[in-house]
Amino acid sequence: MERLKIVAIVGSLRRGSFNRQLAMAAKDAVGGRADFELLDYADVPLMNQDIEFPAPDAVRRVREKVKAADGIWFFSPEYNHSYSGVLKNLIDWLSRPTSKTEPHVLFGKPAAVSGITPGKFGTVTAQDNLVSLISILNMDVMNSPRLSIPNATQQLDKDGNLHLTSSAAFLQAQAEAFLTFIKNR
Task: Say how many domains are in the chain.
Answer: 1
- CB-CB contact of 50 with 103 (8 Å): no
Residue 102 CB burial class (10 angstroms; 0-12, 13-18, ≥19): exposed
Q: Are 134 and 73 within 8 A, CB to CB?
A: no
pLDDT at 99: 79
Nearest to 94 by CA among 143, 136, 148, 124: 136
The list of the chain residues with pLDDT below 50 reads: none
Q: What is the pLDDT of residue 7?
A: 98
CB neighbours (10 Å) of residue 146?
22
pLDDT digits (tens, 9 = 90+) for 12-64: 999 999 999 999 999 999 999 999 999 999 999 999 999 998 999 999 999 99
For 128, the domain range is 4-183
The predicted structure's pLDDT at residue 128: 97
Q: Give the per-residue pLDDT at 1.
A: 60
Partner residues linked to 130 by β-bridges: none
Identify the pLDDT of residue 100.
80
The separation between the first and the last C-alpha atoms of the chain, rounded to the nearest angstrom, is 14
**What's the pTM?**
0.96
pLDDT for the residue numbered 152: 94
- Where residue 70 sits, what CATH number does that domain have? 3.40.50.360
- Residue 124's Cα: distance from chain center in Å? 15
Question: Within 10 Å of residue 137's Cβ, how many Cβ atoms?
Answer: 18
